[in-house]
Amino acid sequence: MRCDVYVARLRDLRPTHHALLDDQERARAQRYRLAADRDRSLLGAVLLRAAAARQLDVRRAEIAVDRTCRRCGSYHGRPLLPGTGLHASVSHSGDVVAVALTSCGPVGVDVEAVRTIDFDAIAGSVCTPAERVQVRAEADFFTIWTRKEAVLKATGEGLSRPMSDVHVAPPSSAPVLLGLGSDQPPACRLADLSVGDGYRACVAVLTADPVTVSTLDASELLTR
């Protein structure tokens, strides 16, 4: 079983890509105040369609994307690809955009640019006590963050569940979901991703089966 993660950069976005999106996707992007945030949103939507079309061997115009939030009904929920058998997740940070696709089970991907932060001030709300002692630098913090957010995206909970409820293996170890608050953690496969210097990234797939994760450069895909 496999999970493919397509990775693009903001430089891959073209004016012609806008024609691939529907009115809701364009409106969603325009709600961002900063141009870079709008571009990340647009590129994520374009890459999702392009990658799904490649996986399914169909035209991009045939890909239907549903982002209806299951809680409030607005168009900002996790992306669904009805009728395809594919689970999808999108993440972006800095100039990197990633799309994960798999038929194995619900999936979550998270990308974070490693940046200077006061991680001591916020680690208590993100890390369990056991994790906190493992965080010695920003790179450690963002490794733990991406592992946790990938899990929360896969479960569909997002940040409605406190990150400190999610217990993962330390940054120096292979990624594993160790606990989920007082709940029994679901079967979950985690993989750290290499998406470029200065970034941390992780993908989570909710399945007990082995999953082969491939990280794919999407630049060529987006020139078509």
Q: Are 222 and 9 in contact (CB under 8 A)?
A: no
> pLDDT tens for residues 149-181?
999 999 999 888 999 999 999 999 999 999 998
Rounded to the nearest 5 degrees, what angle is found at the Cα of 152, between the Cα atoms of 116 and 163?
50
What pLDDT score was predicted for residue 23?
A: 83
What pLDDT score was predicted for residue 95?
A: 96
Domain count, the chain: 1
Block residue for tokens 């929360």: 152
pTM of the model: 0.94
**Mean pLDDT per 10-residue segment, the chain (224 residues):** 97 89 82 88 94 95 87 78 96 97 98 93 91 93 97 92 95 96 93 97 98 97 87
CATH code of the domain containing 206:
3.90.470.20
Domain coverage including residue 60: 2-223
Query: Residue 189 contacts by C-beta under 8 Å, 6 or more apart in sequence?
Result: 104, 204, 205, 207, 209, 210, 211
Q: Where are the beta strands (DSSP E) in the chain?
A: 2-9, 66-68, 75-80, 87-93, 96-102, 107-113, 166-168, 177-180, 189-193, 199-205, 212-217
Residues 99, 18: Cα–Cα separation, whole Å: 18
For residue 188, the SS3 value is coil
What pLDDT score was predicted for residue 151?
A: 98
Residues 28, 42: Cα–Cα separation, whole Å: 9
What pLDDT score was predicted for residue 19?
A: 83
> pLDDT tens for residues 59-74?
998 999 998 877 777 7
What pLDDT score was predicted for residue 10?
A: 96
What one-character DSSP code corresponds to residue 220?
T
